[in-house]
Homo-oligomer: A and B are copies of this chain.
Amino acid sequence: MAEFDLFKLVRNEMELVESQLYENVKTPELILGEASTHLIKAGGKRIRPGFALLAARMYGDDLDYVIPLATALELVHMATLVHDDVIDNSVVRRGTGTVKYQWGNRISIYAGNFVFARALAIVATYDRRDVLELIADASMKICQGEIVQMRSCFNVNLGLKNYLRRIERKTALLISLSCQLGAMLSTSDNLQIEALRRYGYDLGLAFQITDDILDFVADEATLGKPTGSDIRQGVITLPALYALYNDEHRVELARLLSSPHECQENTQHIIDMVCDSDGIDYAYAVSQYYANRSKRHLELLPDTPVTETLQELADFILARDY
């Protein structure tokens, strides 16, 4: 989404979130602070804070009270990333070494827990039971999804439902929650809050499918991580899933994808097989379906510059060409 300035309407607030992130991981424990700061520096698009701020901007100009929540959402996201890195033994994320790679498992686990606890401390200041309940619930669902993802690796017998569940926890849940919470702090119109929640959910799914396609077709410089990293880890995403069910070489593909050794050693061959099938086109069509659905939720919202931007984002995904 580098070409699309989704967050132009909340540019200043995004900078405040950025500095709040650094403020919030300050700790006397040098290593803990360094590892957490490294996590922040590694960047990322700050999509979750951005959506929370955008949803709130829909209802007013003063976003001071949303900045801490937006910061907390990014901290929750960072906590899941650093724990994922421990588990997946990842070496590179966002073009730079992971915390796990530089500091080891112990620091990574504690850094994740620390950053999550910091997010909670921020959430506590809102004194809102409903906000905390939603965050606790999303955290549980994310854990459950991680287990599903883990158990699904190298399993060529799972279908679309399993895939959707995995990308829900990976992306859609937290983006959806960000839209919902940003709105909840800014309006009491439950229909509109719900519309924004659903927008975030569908958009999140479309966005993750796009990301999964890029892991097949983009180059390493664009991705900030090696192409084919999903295949290498045995994570079967939508393009591969399609090929597994529809391609003429599906028996051979199933043999390769169910073998950790083949996934490691013949990554490029597997990528080529998937790209030669209609898997990319199919995944593209599914992402379009969700992007279109996300736009429909926006019809319930007032006609503001924010609504327009959210619409443009969906259109941007729709117009994408691979």
Contacts and interface: CB of A to CB of B under 8 A. Distances in A.
Nearest to A132: B124
Contacts of A142: 113
Residue from A31, A113, A114 having most chain B Cβ neighbours under 10 A = A113
Please classify the interface of chain A as helix (H, G, I), strand (E, B), loop, or mixed, using the class held by over half of its residues. helix
Nearest to A121: B136
Contact of A124 (B86, B111, B117, B129): B129
A118 interface: yes
A196 B124 CA distance: 23
A125 interface: yes
Contacts of A110: 83, 87, 143, 146-147, 150
Contacts of A113: 83, 116, 139, 142-143
Contact of A143 (B105, B114, B136): B114
Given A139-B113, A143-B114, A143-B117, A106 B150 contact: yes
A107 interface: yes
A151 interface: yes
Given A114-B143, A123-B136, 6 more contacts: A32-B147, A107-B147, A107-B150, A113-B139, A117-B136, A124-B129
